């Protein structure tokens, strides 16, 4: 009886091994590929979410930069308005500012408009000085 049990046990073990190779391995391969596909899909979804969030961050940044540029332009416009208002009717200051600027223009040719608005040119002096 002991030999029959041992033989039966060997046959069952061989059958289990054969069944494993015949059915278990292919089923495992299908399961493994399914899990690999699910992991790849999850990775692709994660990458898509990252790309969407990066695009939203760029949009928010662009909107903030645009708002800052508008504020800067408003400040420049207000400053120009204040300067323009302060210079109205202040011909003497503008003339003094122009004369004061002339002292820094060493070795430069400055064209001063005449009454007709046409500058007097002296370009022939450039040829003589060279």
Whether the pTM exceeds 0.95: the reply is no
∠73-79-83 over CA atoms, to 5°?
145
Produce one character per residue of 35-66: b if its CB has 16 or more CB atoms within 10 Å, e if not: eeeeeeeeeeeeeeeeeeeeeeeeeeeeeeee
pLDDT means per 10 residues in the chain (130 residues)? 82 83 82 94 96 97 97 96 86 81 73 64 57
What pLDDT is attached to residue 127? 56
């Amino acid at each position: 009886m002991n030999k029959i049990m041992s033989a039966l046990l060997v046959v069952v073990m061989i059958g289990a091994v054969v069944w494993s190779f015949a059915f278990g391995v292919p089923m495992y391969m299908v399961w493994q590929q399914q899990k690999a596909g699910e992991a790849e899909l999850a990775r692709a979804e994660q990458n898509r979410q990252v790309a969407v969030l990066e695009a939203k961050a760029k949009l928010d940044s662009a909107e903030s930069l645009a708002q800052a540029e508008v504020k800067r332009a408003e400040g420049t416009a207000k400053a120009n308005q204040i300067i323009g208002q302060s210079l109205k009717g202040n011909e003497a200051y503008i003339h003094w500012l122009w004369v004061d600027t002339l002292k820094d223009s060493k070795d430069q040719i400055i064209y001063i408009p005449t009454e007709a608005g046409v500058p007097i040119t002296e370009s022939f002096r450039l040829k003589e000085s060279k």
